Amino acid sequence: MDNLTVVKIGGNVIDDPAALKRFLAAFAGLPGAKLLIHGGGKVATQMAEKLGIQTTMVEGRRITDQPMLDVVTMVYGGLVNKQIVAKLQALEVNAIGMTGADAGTVLARKRPVKDIDYGMVGDIEEVDSGQIQFFLRQALTPVFAPITYSLAGDLLNTNADTMASAIAVDMCRHNTVTLIYCFEKKGVLSDPSDENSVINVLTPEQYAENKAAGTINKGMIPKLDNAFKALDSGVSKVIICHADELAMAVQQGAGTTLKK
């Protein structure tokens, strides 16, 4: 099977033109087939504020009513996605910008209301990895915005970490997959106040202990939940690292590597 690197980029990197430029140069230099899933939450929050739309987050996840869905669709699927695609084209990467609705690649359903009504948020039901593999075989590099679709014809806001995990797992049908989460920290930290306190190897037991102690919290929890789920579902390697250390993480190790 061919090797495939699935990279998710988020955090402050999306908001910082210089940091994004460095990251995309490193991504462009990755050997072999690759695809990218991006977030863009802070850009969406800033746009919503300009439009007078309130942002509500619960455990790192955005509550998405219809006005907020319009914003995230415009920002994620439009502005951020096409800016990234254009920059990759300049780096001679033949990128194709997508949402999960395009070519029916990521089907979801609206999250049912339980304790919290998340609004127009999608829980992924199916990934068409065969269609994504078709794009890869055309020497294209898919760049996914975290928007999915439902059989009812609705667009749905979907957590980008979840989308990266789901795509990576289904792509295991065709490839040996490495999943890398990149953001503005050097990995999972044992001391949130110390940027150098990187946990080099993280097991489920260590994760549970750190979460109980409050060392791992907020947005890192859904990221790690999705990362361990991917590892349990066939992904060969999962790494969480600083965006500036992407190449190092692939070549010789950097950040936090997850182990079963």
Measured torsion, CA atoms of residues 142, 143, 144, 145, in degrees rounded to the nearest 10: -160
Write out 59-106 in H/E/C secondary structure: CCEECECHHHHHHHHHHHHHHHHHHHHHHHHHCCCCEEEECCCHHHCE
CB 93 within 8 A of CB 84: no
- Binding-site residue positions for substrate: 40-41, 62, 157
On the 0-12 / 13-18 / 19+ scale of CB atoms within 10 A, 207 is: buried
**Residue 114 burial (CB count, 10 A):** 7
CB 257 within 8 A of CB 189: no
CB 238 within 8 A of CB 179: yes
- Binding-site residue positions: 40-41, 62, 157
- The crossing angle, in degrees rounded to 10, of helices 81-90 and 17-28 is 50
- Cβ neighbours of residue 203 closer than 8 Å, sequence gap 6 or more: 258, 259, 260
**Pairwise CA distance, residues 237 & 202, whole Å:** 12
CB 232 within 8 A of CB 260: yes
Q: How far is CA 34 from CA 13, 22, 244, in A?
A: 19, 17, 17
